[in-house]
Amino acid sequence: MSHIAPLIPDDAPFSSAERAFINGWIAAYYATDVATPISAAPATVGEFPWHDASLPLDRRMEIAAGQPMPQLLMAAMAQQDCGQCGYLCRTYAAAIAEGKEKALTRCVPGGKETARKLKELLETGGASAPATVLAAPAAATIAPDTSGPATVAAQFRGARPLNRAGSAKDTRQVVLNLYGSGLRYQTGDSIGIMPTNCPETVAAIIEELGADPHADVDAPNSKRLPLREALSRACDIGRPSDEAVEVLASRARDPDQSQRLQALAEGYPGAEPEGADLLELLTVFPSARPPLQELILALAPLQPRLYSIACSPLVHGGEVHLTVAAVRWEKRGRARKGIASCFLAERATEETTMPVFVQPPAHRFRPPESDDAPMIMIGPGTGIAPFRAFLQERRENGAKGRNWLFFGDQRRATDFLYEDELITWHKEGLLSRLDVAFSRDQPERIYVQQRMREQSARLWRWLNDGAYVFVCGAMAMGRDVDTALAAIVARQGGMGIGAAKAYLAQLGREGRFVKDVY
């Protein structure tokens, strides 16, 4: 069966380069038989132009406008293929479109924004999707990975501070023991850990609810548990689902509180308190006290969190090392804590075991197959994690390829994570180059991109020598590194910025430019 490929109209809200790219993509899509199954392998930007985690949701939806429902649902996902939902972005979308998956809140990095967009798309039937294309079975043939990863119990061994006294940050080298679990991993994998919620917050919620901590309830994970345990290990109390907020709204006795809660549940712009956790909602809206079971079942299940594995199995086979930034902030006079990062940094002890699973990288985020290929690694902050593993692996294999690391953090004196190892590896020659950017050691912020720009000519030579480029760390950094790299390629290669982006896209397709950002 063949189809005539539609072209997006000239007045569609795209630049000419984007239009050409999307038209090319649509043409390629229609050139294939629509009944051809889309493989369950991770998607690429080439296949799905919105599959770029650095694009905001609105932009992704614009790019996907007019596509069939599974593709629209996919564009609403955070595009990280992080696996925390138990699928890839594309297979989660396909499962929802097929009606096999009912939960719309599984996309952890997409959060409420994604959950709301999924709901809206399903309610409106993806208003802009043409009916003829809506019927296309393409995504109906995507097989959701319902088998789930193998989960084992890992034992916590420690969380050594990587920052020195006086740092504004708290980054830990977490070690988990896998001995006897049978769990195997490869360099470039992440590990998913199932945290528990902060016991003080759980106790405060139970007190606010005036409930019995031992009362049995049906938890969102389909188990019957005592309330305290359900709130500790089964419910997302950090980001109460819209459904839970609606339950609170419908049961609030005070009409004003009910209205404010309803506005929050519907995501009204300016609805307050934005980003509230369950305890905050119960405190701010004391008249909202729904029946316990109704509230608990409306909460989303607590999701695992992923951490890049910071060691090579060739060196630390029975263990995994992680590099975890403890997330802490303050709101309404209450200290707030990231659930998993503070579970690992503060609460876990040598007696603690936790369910873990191995999550392979979404893209080809692994050391190059050829030991001779040059490798450029850009990993500020916790982005250093996988590169410690890459370097351990190359060292262990006696790989001859040149290695270049760009690292950055706030201050050299306190935040040079793994400083001793990195300096030793530089002296040994394992690291041919180590370029560092300490953002707050001078009045103006200096980031890794600045060091890249200073090394433009050398970077270009390495690229021409076949170097692989890997980027890992926070999302905003990943986006800015993209921009910097495109500018470097444009200047050094004597090409326009569009051509430079196409050059990088081609490197991406060859697995020579790979990002893992969160």
Ligand X SMILES: NC(=O)c1ccc[n+]([C@@H]2O[C@H](COP(=O)([O-])OP(=O)(O)OC[C@H]3O[C@@H](n4cnc5c(N)ncnc54)[C@H](OP(=O)(O)O)[C@@H]3O)[C@@H](O)[C@H]2O)c1
- Which token pair is 503? 């050059």
Cβ proximity to ligand FAD, 60 vs 336, nearer residue: 336
| β partners of residue 309 | 322
Question: Residue 207 in 3-state DSSP?
Answer: helix
Sign of CA dihedral 150, 110, 139, 501: negative
User: Which of ligand X, ligand FAD, none lies near 401, with the C-beta cut-off 5 to 8 A by kind?
Assistant: none
The CA-atom distances, in angstroms, between 345 and each of 82, 175, 233, 239, 341 are 22, 11, 17, 20, 6
Nearest distance in Å: CB 380, ligand X:
4
Contact assessment for residue 368 and residue 170, using Cβ atoms and an 8 Å cutoff: no
User: Which of ligand FAD, ligand X, none lies near 340, with the C-beta cut-off 5 to 8 A by kind?
Assistant: ligand FAD
Nearest distance in Å: CB 78, ligand X:
13
Nearest distance in Å: CB 109, ligand FAD:
6
Residue 80 within binding range of ligand FAD, rule CB under 6 A = yes
User: Which of ligand X, ligand FAD, none lies near 427, with the C-beta cut-off 5 to 8 A by kind?
Assistant: none
Nearest distance in Å: CB 161, ligand FAD:
14
User: Which of ligand X, ligand FAD, none lies near 249, with the C-beta cut-off 5 to 8 A by kind?
Assistant: none
Q: What is the C-alpha separation between 302 and 236, in angstroms, rounded? A: 4
Q: Which of 341, 403, 439, 455 binds ligand FAD (CB under 6 A)?
A: 341
Residue 324 within binding range of ligand FAD, rule CB under 6 A = yes
Nearest distance in Å: CB 200, ligand FAD:
15
* Longest Cα separation, the chain: 70
Q: What is the C-alpha separation between 437 and 472, in angstroms, rounded? A: 15
The CA-atom distances, in angstroms, between 480 and each of 49, 61, 80 are 19, 22, 17
Cβ proximity to ligand X, 290 vs 338, nearer residue: 338
Report which residue's Cβ sits closest to ligand FAD: 338
Nearest distance in Å: CB 152, ligand X:
27
Residue 382 within binding range of ligand FAD, rule CB under 6 A = yes
Contact assessment for residue 8 and residue 26, using Cβ atoms and an 8 Å cutoff: yes
User: Which of ligand FAD, ligand X, none lies near 139, with the C-beta cut-off 5 to 8 A by kind?
Assistant: none
Residue 103 within binding range of ligand FAD, rule CB under 6 A = no
Nearest distance in Å: CB 322, ligand FAD:
6
Q: Name the one range near ligand FAD by CB under 6 A: 162-170, 319-327, 401-409, 491-499.
A: 319-327
C-alpha 392: how far from its chain's center? Answer: 24
Closest CA to 358 of 194, 191, 148: 191
Q: Which of 308, 392, 410, 449 binds ligand FAD (CB under 6 A)?
A: 308
Q: How many helices (H) and strands (E) does the chain have?
A: 21, 15
Interface characters, 4-43, with ligand FAD (x: CB under 6 A): ----------------------------------------
Residue 281 within binding range of ligand FAD, rule CB under 6 A = no
| β partners of residue 305 | 193
Contact assessment for residue 197 and residue 232, using Cβ atoms and an 8 Å cutoff: yes
Residue 275 within binding range of ligand FAD, rule CB under 6 A = yes
User: Which of ligand X, ligand FAD, none lies near 305, with the C-beta cut-off 5 to 8 A by kind?
Assistant: ligand FAD
- Which token pair is 420? 């001793």
Residue 410 within binding range of ligand FAD, rule CB under 6 A = no
Nearest distance in Å: CB 172, ligand X:
11
The CA-atom distances, in angstroms, between 414 and each of 72, 122, 337, 449 are 45, 49, 22, 21
What DSSP element (H or E) covers 350? none
Q: Give the binding site for ligand X (CB under 6 A).
A: 169, 171, 325, 327-329, 380-383, 408-410, 439-440, 445, 447-449, 473-474, 476-477, 480
DSSP string across 247-276: HHHHHBSSHHHHHHHHHHHTT-TT-SSTT-
Give the binding site for ligand FAD (CB under 6 A). Answer: 80, 82, 190, 238, 275, 305-308, 322-325, 327, 329, 338-341, 382, 385, 516, 518
